[in-house]
Structure 1
């Protein structure tokens, strides 16, 4: 039929020309050096920029040709043909950008970046070695958890009393085992990806920036706080050995003993990664079980004290309340292993057939059995024997026999040496990551030597300046360990898995969160008060 008028020709031409390809015009304009939303762009000469990828620019030219070619203008095919053409162009563009041609400059840049990233990961402490066995997990967790905190548990019991004390000890053991299981499970919850660091899991749960802001400050406070407390613990244990072994010798300042203890870490801190400190960690785990056994066995041997009393050791109601709150922090400090659990699991090899959570959980169960064998006898027997007269470190209450006290304190020194290194390793990883990835420093032995020595010197200086052992336990235990141990894993679990409201999982997690938040708010108050009281009669660097 040839009876169509001019208006037929008009809308046929419009239909032929104006197809889905019009949607590609902003893309083509932007790729050819002319931004589509810029009014001044119209009428300008099209020029190529040397910054453009030539393949992308060719795609843009092809888009223009596809729109205005005679074939397309005279075609009777539906407009979705142009859409298909544009889809193939977009796919080609996407493929060009995501998969640069082999041997191209872009591919070389990506290869160099990937190679550099791999070298950095092989150099950083957490990701440099992944050949650990399940028993590495066991003694690393024992070393991380059974530390100086166990020696303060009888003292905490004297403030809590029998009923609340036993309940809080058991409840803390159950809750922290549950939250530790959550972290082990979440380590590889995304197929093909491992969350090797606590803050990486936080970023996955809360977002890239918010996850860092939530996790990193708390983890740093916790790990640096532990190292400071262990500086004080190691120094005071050395001082106790000196006093017991040489009662007629001239007294030596606590400051010097802390410096002696720190001198060991100026050497050990240069071990590169977790697996390299496995021997130190194993020795520390054995020592923790040994001095815990000595603590309760020597208490049994000493026998029930004649003037033992289990009442309130404070002289006022306010004192009782503050002491109770501080004791909560002491208990929280005793369960502090969560801050390094993901970093420990990162050292275990993992495959789809054999994920790392299997051997990791096996090690955790073993570690928690050891924890129970250490904590409950020391706390209950120590409080039963000495009552409200027990010291904040039970080994101080045990004055005889001298050789046993010396041995127990020597075991404590060995243990806190290993624990210090275990908690320092994630801090070293953070420091070195910032230096190498953010500040583009070259990953060298010199860089590691300087940065780690500065960290050890810092913790030594703070420990020397504020050697308030009991108060430090309560303050750091509540302020830092409560979030990272008691409720942050539960919060991440809810954010990631989103269990049904009022389901068993939802209720358990919210109970843990509520208890953890209360612990975080209340216990630092008591710990801070203890520090203030002890500081009244303290002379700096005495």
Structure 2
């Protein structure tokens, strides 16, 4: 400023104009090159088809880690209550998913994440509540599926090397390293072909496992199978609670708005098609495996159905390989809310092409920390069934059953016809209330079984 006063008036103004022009050009350049974390997150928006949405939804929900415990859940509930819970869970989550998809632009703005949708409807409390539930669901899901993937890898290894010395913990670490590599892909849309392969692996896993389950069931003396619930009255009650949490986990999908943000217009129509197509796969795989698994083994069925299968060995190996492939994509889908949350807060908001290396190094550090935490917990407490139940009860029940109905009621997007409007209100309120109770009961059952397992097994136990 002192220099400007020493200049002639005309020269001073010319100098000031030049400075302003340079500053405006710099601002325009910064606007043209947005922060790298924003670019990575938004570059893929609106390019996916309904088929891509179906791949993402099916990969997120219909993972072997989700429906492999279903025969065990039915064994804990018995035929009548088990079938009712499974069919009811399917219909309720399909309905809830369509409700979430319908709120894509309910207030004139695209709701690209669960957190944004909750904030627009319920304010900051909604934002932070959904953030907590989503993180619990994501972390719990990835711990459970990593245990399942490690178990499947170990089963394949033991088939070829029966006397091999590698433990479950080592296979959990191997899977964690592989997921760390996949974590460097920038967003959900970049996983579309990975998830396409995973969807076909879901079908392969279901078909193989159902066939082998029926084959094993026919080899067993059917007269020896008794479908009566076993144990004391309190044991039966807690097993039932735990089973409700496992069923809630099997329909877990905490990522619908994030998936919908990758779908091109008309986003609602494409998402409706994608959800319905994914649920077609879910119905065929879930119901068939749950019913055939419980029929084959009765109350002796294991929490991870593959552990109950014995012959023929090559088909069991194939089913385990399908499981690992599918789980690898599911794991990645559930990483993304955590990555997106911390990327937006820990990584530099002024990052551009000049600091690209710095951005990737920071992101690599973030993914390493995340994968180390998940792998450590999975290796230390490999109690697959317990994590499935508590994750379903605490994380997925609020997100997939309770919140969608409350959000739809809050939005005021009710049908015009009085009878239809009343029906929608009754159904939505009933789902919210009933599954709030289910979540509470499932949490109680899961915590009890975790405490019992911790008394029985030591940390880093080779299951």
Q: Could you state the TM-score of these two structures normalised by the residue count of structure 1?
A: 0.75
Name the CA distance, whole Å, in 1 between partners of 2:364 and 2:344.
14
Q: Which one is further off, 273-282 or 469-478?
A: 273-282
Normalized per residue, the structure richer in helix is: 2
Q: Which structure 2 residues correspond to residues 244-393 of structure 1 after superposition, within 5 A?
A: 244-247=159-162, 249-304=163-218, 305-306=220-221, 307-313=224-230, 315-337=231-253, 339-350=254-265, 355-393=266-304
Name the CA distance, whole Å, in 2 between partners of 1:109 and 1:156.
61
Larger radius of gyration: 1
Equivalent residues of 1:127, 1:196 under 8 A apart: no
Q: Which structure 2 residues correspond to residues 90-489 of structure 1 after superposition, within 5 A?
A: 114-115=31-32, 117=34, 120-124=37-41, 128-147=44-63, 148-191=65-108, 193-207=109-123, 209-247=124-162, 249-304=163-218, 305-306=220-221, 307-313=224-230, 315-337=231-253, 339-350=254-265, 355-436=266-347, 444-489=359-404
Equivalent residues of 2:105, 2:111 under 8 A apart: yes
Q: 1:347 to 1:421 in 2, by over 3 A?
A: same
Equivalent residues of 1:199, 1:212 under 8 A apart: yes
CA-atom RMSD in angstroms: 2.3
Name the CA distance, whole Å, in 2 between partners of 1:184 and 1:111.
36
Q: 1:106 to 1:168 in 2, by over 3 A?
A: farther
Measure how far apart 1:243 and its partner are: 2.0
Q: 1:494 to 1:439 in 2, by over 3 A?
A: farther
Name the CA distance, whole Å, in 2 between partners of 1:507 and 1:264.
46
Equivalent residues of 1:122, 1:129 under 8 A apart: no
Name the CA distance, whole Å, in 1 between partners of 2:270 and 2:132.
30
Equivalent residues of 2:156, 2:321 under 8 A apart: yes
Measure how far apart 1:408 and its partner are: 0.5
Q: Structure 1 unaligned segments of length 5 or more: list them.
A: 1-102
SS of residue matched to 1:366: helix
Q: 1:318 to 1:110 in 2, by over 3 A?
A: farther
Task: Look up the match of 2:10.
Answer: none
Equivalent residues of 2:111, 2:117 under 8 A apart: yes
Task: Look up the match of 1:507.
Answer: 426
Q: Structure 2 unaligned segments of length 5 or more: list them.
A: 1-19
Q: 1:218 to 1:268 in 2, by over 3 A?
A: same
Name the CA distance, whole Å, in 2 between partners of 1:154 and 1:490.
28
Name the CA distance, whole Å, in 2 between partners of 1:498 and 1:413.
41
Measure how far apart 1:112 and its partner are: 6.8
Equivalent residues of 2:35, 2:349 under 8 A apart: no
Q: Which structure 2 residues correspond to residues 8-87 of structure 1 after superposition, within 5 A?
A: none
Q: Which one is further off, 392-401 or 422-431?
A: 422-431
**Deviation string, structure 1 residues 203-238 (Cα, Å, up to 9, x no partner):** 00001x212221100001101111111111111111
Measure how far apart 1:189 and its partner are: 1.7
SS of residue matched to 2:255: helix
Measure how far apart 1:426 and its partner are: 2.2
Name the CA distance, whole Å, in 2 between partners of 1:323 and 1:277.
37
Measure how far apart 1:537 and its partner are: 2.3
**Deviation string, structure 1 residues 455-512 (Cα, Å, up to 9, x no partner):** 1111111111111001111111111110000010111111111758982221111001
**Deviation string, structure 1 residues 336-358 (Cα, Å, up to 9, x no partner):** 12x111111101123xxxx2111
Name the CA distance, whole Å, in 2 between partners of 1:267 and 1:523.
34
Name the CA distance, whole Å, in 1 between partners of 2:81 and 2:45.
43
Name the CA distance, whole Å, in 2 between partners of 1:335 and 1:424.
17
Name the CA distance, whole Å, in 2 between partners of 1:526 and 1:137.
34
Name the CA distance, whole Å, in 2 between partners of 1:117 and 1:340.
25
Where relative contact order (Cα < 8 A, 6+ residues apart) is larger, the structure is 2
Task: Look up the match of 1:516.
Answer: 435
Q: Could you state the TM-score of these two structures normalised by the residue count of structure 2?
A: 0.88
Name the CA distance, whole Å, in 1 between partners of 2:25 and 2:129.
37
Name the CA distance, whole Å, in 1 between partners of 2:214 and 2:345.
51
Name the CA distance, whole Å, in 2 between partners of 1:450 and 1:432.
11
Q: 1:113 to 1:321 in 2, by over 3 A?
A: farther
SS of residue matched to 1:536: helix
